[in-house]
Structure 1
Protein backbone atom coordinates (compact mmCIF):
# COMPACT_ATOMS: atom_id res chain seq x y z
CA UNK A 1 0.00 0.00 0.00
CA UNK A 2 2.88 2.23 0.54
CA UNK A 3 3.86 1.90 -3.10
CA UNK A 4 0.29 2.52 -4.24
CA UNK A 5 -0.04 5.96 -2.68
CA UNK A 6 2.87 7.58 -4.56
CA UNK A 7 1.76 6.01 -7.83
CA UNK A 8 -1.76 7.26 -7.21
CA UNK A 9 -0.47 10.78 -6.48
CA UNK A 10 1.72 10.68 -9.60
CA UNK A 11 -1.18 9.62 -11.81
CA UNK A 12 -3.46 12.22 -10.20
CA UNK A 13 -0.88 14.98 -10.80
CA UNK A 14 -0.31 13.87 -14.40
CA UNK A 15 -4.07 13.79 -15.04
CA UNK A 16 -4.51 17.21 -13.47
CA UNK A 17 -1.66 18.58 -15.59
CA UNK A 18 -3.17 17.15 -18.78
CA UNK A 19 -6.61 18.52 -17.95
CA UNK A 20 -5.17 21.95 -17.12
CA UNK A 21 -3.15 22.06 -20.36
CA UNK A 22 -6.16 21.06 -22.46
CA UNK A 23 -8.29 23.68 -20.73
CA UNK A 24 -5.73 26.42 -21.37
CA UNK A 25 -5.37 25.44 -25.04
CA UNK A 26 -9.13 25.50 -25.57
CA UNK A 27 -9.39 28.89 -23.82
CA UNK A 28 -6.57 30.18 -26.03
CA UNK A 29 -8.38 28.92 -29.13
CA UNK A 30 -11.60 30.59 -27.98
CA UNK A 31 -9.78 33.88 -27.40
CA UNK A 32 -8.19 33.72 -30.83
CA UNK A 33 -11.52 32.80 -32.39
CA UNK A 34 -13.21 35.57 -30.42
CA UNK A 35 -10.59 38.06 -31.61
CA UNK A 36 -10.98 36.92 -35.23
CA UNK A 37 -14.75 37.15 -35.03
CA UNK A 38 -14.43 40.45 -33.20
CA UNK A 39 -12.12 41.78 -35.92
CA UNK A 40 -14.52 40.60 -38.62
CA UNK A 41 -17.44 42.23 -36.82
CA UNK A 42 -15.40 45.34 -36.24
CA UNK A 43 -14.37 45.52 -39.88
CA UNK A 44 -18.03 45.01 -40.89
CA UNK A 45 -19.02 47.86 -38.58
CA UNK A 46 -16.26 50.02 -39.98
CA UNK A 47 -17.40 49.23 -43.53
CA UNK A 48 -20.98 50.16 -42.64
CA UNK A 49 -19.85 53.33 -40.93
CA UNK A 50 -17.72 54.25 -43.93
CA UNK A 51 -20.63 53.60 -46.30
CA UNK A 52 -22.97 55.69 -44.15
CA UNK A 53 -20.39 58.46 -44.00
CA UNK A 54 -19.95 58.45 -47.78
CA UNK A 55 -23.71 58.42 -48.28
CA UNK A 56 -24.06 61.37 -45.92
CA UNK A 57 -21.35 63.25 -47.81
CA UNK A 58 -23.04 62.54 -51.14
CA UNK A 59 -26.37 63.65 -49.73
CA UNK A 60 -24.81 66.83 -48.39
CA UNK A 61 -23.12 67.52 -51.73
CA UNK A 62 -26.42 67.08 -53.55
CA UNK A 63 -28.11 69.46 -51.11
CA UNK A 64 -25.30 71.98 -51.63
CA UNK A 65 -25.71 71.71 -55.41
CA UNK A 66 -29.47 72.18 -55.10
CA UNK A 67 -28.96 75.19 -52.85
CA UNK A 68 -26.48 76.69 -55.31
CA UNK A 69 -28.86 76.08 -58.20
CA UNK A 70 -31.70 77.71 -56.26
CA UNK A 71 -29.49 80.68 -55.43
CA UNK A 72 -28.43 80.98 -59.08
CA UNK A 73 -32.04 80.76 -60.19
CA UNK A 74 -33.06 83.40 -57.65
CA UNK A 75 -30.23 85.68 -58.79
CA UNK A 76 -31.22 85.20 -62.42
CA UNK A 77 -34.84 85.97 -61.54
CA UNK A 78 -33.79 89.06 -59.62
CA UNK A 79 -31.56 90.19 -62.50
CA UNK A 80 -34.32 89.50 -64.99
CA UNK A 81 -36.83 91.39 -62.83
CA UNK A 82 -34.35 94.23 -62.44
CA UNK A 83 -33.80 94.31 -66.20
CA UNK A 84 -37.54 94.28 -66.84
CA UNK A 85 -38.01 97.13 -64.37
CA UNK A 86 -35.13 99.04 -65.96
CA UNK A 87 -36.61 98.42 -69.43
CA UNK A 88 -40.00 99.58 -68.20
CA UNK A 89 -38.42 102.64 -66.63
CA UNK A 90 -36.55 103.34 -69.88
CA UNK A 91 -39.74 102.88 -71.86
CA UNK A 92 -41.55 105.24 -69.52
CA UNK A 93 -38.69 107.71 -69.76
CA UNK A 94 -38.68 107.39 -73.55
CA UNK A 95 -42.43 107.88 -73.61
CA UNK A 96 -42.07 110.91 -71.33
CA UNK A 97 -39.36 112.35 -73.57
CA UNK A 98 -41.42 111.63 -76.69
CA UNK A 99 -44.45 113.22 -75.06
CA UNK A 100 -42.44 116.26 -74.04
CA UNK A 101 -40.92 116.51 -77.51
CA UNK A 102 -44.36 116.36 -79.09
CA UNK A 103 -45.67 118.94 -76.65
CA UNK A 104 -42.71 121.22 -77.36
CA UNK A 105 -43.12 120.80 -81.10
CA UNK A 106 -46.83 121.51 -80.75
CA UNK A 107 -46.12 124.61 -78.66
CA UNK A 108 -43.45 125.78 -81.09
CA UNK A 109 -45.87 125.30 -83.94
CA UNK A 110 -48.50 127.30 -82.05
CA UNK A 111 -45.97 130.04 -81.31
CA UNK A 112 -44.93 130.19 -84.95
CA UNK A 113 -48.55 130.39 -86.04
CA UNK A 114 -49.14 133.10 -83.48
CA UNK A 115 -46.08 135.00 -84.73
CA UNK A 116 -47.22 134.66 -88.33
CA UNK A 117 -50.67 135.80 -87.38
CA UNK A 118 -49.19 138.75 -85.49
CA UNK A 119 -46.90 139.62 -88.37
CA UNK A 120 -49.78 139.39 -90.86
CA UNK A 121 -51.92 141.54 -88.60
CA UNK A 122 -49.17 144.16 -88.38
CA UNK A 123 -48.59 144.16 -92.12
CA UNK A 124 -52.24 144.73 -92.93
Structure 2
Protein backbone atom coordinates (compact mmCIF):
# COMPACT_ATOMS: atom_id res chain seq x y z
CA UNK A 1 0.00 0.00 0.00
CA UNK A 2 2.80 2.31 0.62
CA UNK A 3 3.89 1.92 -2.96
CA UNK A 4 0.31 2.39 -4.22
CA UNK A 5 -0.22 5.80 -2.63
CA UNK A 6 2.71 7.55 -4.35
CA UNK A 7 1.77 5.98 -7.68
CA UNK A 8 -1.82 7.11 -7.16
CA UNK A 9 -0.67 10.64 -6.30
CA UNK A 10 1.64 10.69 -9.32
CA UNK A 11 -1.18 9.61 -11.65
CA UNK A 12 -3.57 12.12 -10.11
CA UNK A 13 -1.01 14.93 -10.52
CA UNK A 14 -0.30 13.90 -14.12
CA UNK A 15 -4.03 13.82 -14.91
CA UNK A 16 -4.53 17.20 -13.26
CA UNK A 17 -1.60 18.59 -15.23
CA UNK A 18 -2.98 17.19 -18.50
CA UNK A 19 -6.45 18.58 -17.80
CA UNK A 20 -5.02 21.99 -16.84
CA UNK A 21 -2.84 22.11 -19.98
CA UNK A 22 -5.79 21.16 -22.21
CA UNK A 23 -7.93 23.81 -20.56
CA UNK A 24 -5.29 26.50 -21.04
CA UNK A 25 -4.77 25.54 -24.69
CA UNK A 26 -8.51 25.66 -25.26
CA UNK A 27 -8.76 29.08 -23.65
CA UNK A 28 -5.77 30.27 -25.68
CA UNK A 29 -7.39 29.04 -28.89
CA UNK A 30 -10.61 30.82 -27.98
CA UNK A 31 -8.71 34.04 -27.28
CA UNK A 32 -6.80 33.75 -30.53
CA UNK A 33 -10.01 32.99 -32.40
CA UNK A 34 -11.72 35.87 -30.64
CA UNK A 35 -8.86 38.19 -31.53
CA UNK A 36 -8.89 37.03 -35.15
CA UNK A 37 -12.63 37.49 -35.39
CA UNK A 38 -12.31 40.79 -33.55
CA UNK A 39 -9.57 41.91 -35.92
CA UNK A 40 -11.65 40.87 -38.91
CA UNK A 41 -14.66 42.72 -37.57
CA UNK A 42 -12.52 45.70 -36.68
CA UNK A 43 -10.98 45.61 -40.12
CA UNK A 44 -14.43 45.48 -41.73
CA UNK A 45 -15.60 48.36 -39.53
CA UNK A 46 -12.53 50.38 -40.44
CA UNK A 47 -13.10 49.69 -44.13
CA UNK A 48 -16.75 50.68 -43.83
CA UNK A 49 -15.84 53.84 -41.90
CA UNK A 50 -13.20 54.71 -44.48
CA UNK A 51 -15.70 54.23 -47.31
CA UNK A 52 -18.26 56.39 -45.52
CA UNK A 53 -15.61 59.04 -44.88
CA UNK A 54 -14.57 59.05 -48.54
CA UNK A 55 -18.20 59.22 -49.64
CA UNK A 56 -18.78 62.16 -47.30
CA UNK A 57 -15.72 63.93 -48.67
CA UNK A 58 -16.87 63.36 -52.24
CA UNK A 59 -20.31 64.63 -51.34
CA UNK A 60 -18.81 67.75 -49.76
CA UNK A 61 -16.61 68.27 -52.82
CA UNK A 62 -19.62 68.03 -55.11
CA UNK A 63 -21.52 70.47 -52.90
CA UNK A 64 -18.54 72.82 -52.92
CA UNK A 65 -18.36 72.63 -56.71
CA UNK A 66 -22.09 73.30 -56.98
CA UNK A 67 -21.77 76.21 -54.56
CA UNK A 68 -18.84 77.62 -56.54
CA UNK A 69 -20.77 77.22 -59.78
CA UNK A 70 -23.78 78.94 -58.24
CA UNK A 71 -21.57 81.74 -56.95
CA UNK A 72 -19.93 82.09 -60.37
CA UNK A 73 -23.35 82.13 -62.01
CA UNK A 74 -24.59 84.70 -59.51
CA UNK A 75 -21.49 86.82 -60.07
CA UNK A 76 -21.97 86.58 -63.82
CA UNK A 77 -25.63 87.51 -63.44
CA UNK A 78 -24.70 90.45 -61.23
CA UNK A 79 -22.01 91.51 -63.71
CA UNK A 80 -24.53 91.23 -66.54
CA UNK A 81 -27.05 93.22 -64.52
CA UNK A 82 -24.43 95.82 -63.64
CA UNK A 83 -23.41 95.95 -67.28
CA UNK A 84 -27.04 96.29 -68.31
CA UNK A 85 -27.59 99.02 -65.73
CA UNK A 86 -24.49 100.83 -66.93
CA UNK A 87 -25.59 100.40 -70.54
CA UNK A 88 -29.06 101.67 -69.63
CA UNK A 89 -27.53 104.64 -67.82
CA UNK A 90 -25.29 105.30 -70.79
CA UNK A 91 -28.29 105.06 -73.10
CA UNK A 92 -30.22 107.38 -70.80
CA UNK A 93 -27.35 109.83 -70.80
CA UNK A 94 -27.12 109.52 -74.57
CA UNK A 95 -30.85 110.10 -74.86
CA UNK A 96 -30.57 113.10 -72.56
CA UNK A 97 -27.66 114.41 -74.62
CA UNK A 98 -29.66 113.96 -77.82
CA UNK A 99 -32.69 115.64 -76.26
CA UNK A 100 -30.51 118.48 -75.02
CA UNK A 101 -28.95 118.90 -78.46
CA UNK A 102 -32.37 118.92 -80.09
CA UNK A 103 -33.53 121.59 -77.70
CA UNK A 104 -30.40 123.66 -78.40
CA UNK A 105 -30.84 123.22 -82.15
CA UNK A 106 -34.50 124.15 -81.96
CA UNK A 107 -33.61 127.15 -79.83
CA UNK A 108 -30.88 128.20 -82.27
CA UNK A 109 -33.19 127.68 -85.23
CA UNK A 110 -35.82 129.79 -83.50
CA UNK A 111 -33.18 132.49 -82.84
CA UNK A 112 -32.04 132.35 -86.46
CA UNK A 113 -35.63 132.65 -87.69
CA UNK A 114 -36.19 135.64 -85.39
CA UNK A 115 -32.97 137.21 -86.61
CA UNK A 116 -34.03 136.61 -90.22
CA UNK A 117 -37.44 138.13 -89.55
CA UNK A 118 -35.81 141.08 -87.82
CA UNK A 119 -33.43 141.53 -90.75
CA UNK A 120 -36.30 141.23 -93.22
CA UNK A 121 -38.33 143.81 -91.29
CA UNK A 122 -35.40 146.16 -91.14
CA UNK A 123 -34.89 145.87 -94.88
CA UNK A 124 -38.54 146.48 -95.59
CA UNK A 125 -38.64 149.69 -93.59
Smaller-chain TM-score bracket: 0.7 to 0.9
User: How much does 1:120 deviate?
Assistant: 4.6
The CA distance in 1 between the partners of 2:77 and 2:104, in whole Å, is 38
Of stretches 29-38 and 108-117 in structure 1, the one that deviates more from structure 2 is 108-117
Q: Which 10-residue stretch deviates more, 54-63 or 103-112? A: 103-112
Distance in 1, Cα, partners of 2:74 & 2:97: 32
Structure 1, unmatched stretches of 5+, are none
RMSD, aligned α-carbons: 2.2
Q: What does the per-residue CA deviation read over 1:91-124, in whole Å, with 9 as the maximum and x for residues that have no partner?
A: 4433433442353244235324424532552454
CA deviation vs aligned residue, 1:34-58 (integer Å, no higher than 9, x gap)? 1110111111110111011011101
Unmatched 5+ stretches in structure 2:
none
Measured in 1, the distance between the counterparts of 2:35 and 2:69 equals 50
Aligned-partner Cα distance in 2 for 1:89–1:53: 54
Between 91-100 and 12-21, report the one with greater CA deviation: 91-100
By how many angstroms is 1:82 displaced?
3.3
- TM-score normalized by the length of structure 2: 0.82
